[in-house]
Amino acid sequence: MELRRIRTDRGLAGGKGRLAACGSRGWLEFTFKAEYAYDYGMPQWLARLDHRLAKLRLERLFLGRHKFYHFRVWYRDALSKYVREILLDPLTLSRPYLQRKALEAMVRAHAKGDRNYTTEIHKVLTLELVHRLFLDTK
């Protein structure tokens, strides 16, 4: 029963009054959804706007409140070189199941920061690494 009183990152439980708990839960629910929208779920129009406002570093308002991993930003910044090295490699671009020009445009737009292709990069990166590990022979 004591554990039930500890508030979670989603605003559940806690020992506050009903009104304060509702307000707190509402705020935490908003930040939870905003963090998702600012990372994986960022629509393309918002990615363009975020790119234009990059100097404000708006991601600091939302990212890191509920999750510790943020692939949209990582693929754009810290992992950008790695993503380009793997996905723009001639071996990757020669795969018959990939559209070379579309993949190149996707990687470059995401790395530039004005588009959000986090999910697509996840899929193609995973597919390429699995292909290299299990199907390519040396």
pLDDT tens column, 48-104:
888 888 788 878 777 777 777 778 889 999 999 999 999 999 999 999 999 999 999
- On whether residue 17 sits in a domain, the answer given is no
- Model pLDDT for residues 29-50, shown as the tens digit of each residue: 887 787 877 777 888 888 888 8
Q: What domain count does the chain have?
A: 1
Residue 92 is part of which domain span? 39-135
- On whether residue 108 sits in a domain, the answer given is yes
Q: Largest Cα–Cα distance of the chain, in whole Å?
A: 65
- On whether residue 81 sits in a domain, the answer given is yes
CB 115 within 8 A of CB 48: yes
Q: How many CB atoms lie within 10 A of CB 68?
A: 6
pTM over 0.75: no
- On whether residue 73 sits in a domain, the answer given is yes
- DSSP-derived 3-state class of residue 47: helix
Q: Tell me what pLDDT residue 127 has.
A: 97
In this structure, what token pair is assigned to residue 109? 């737009």
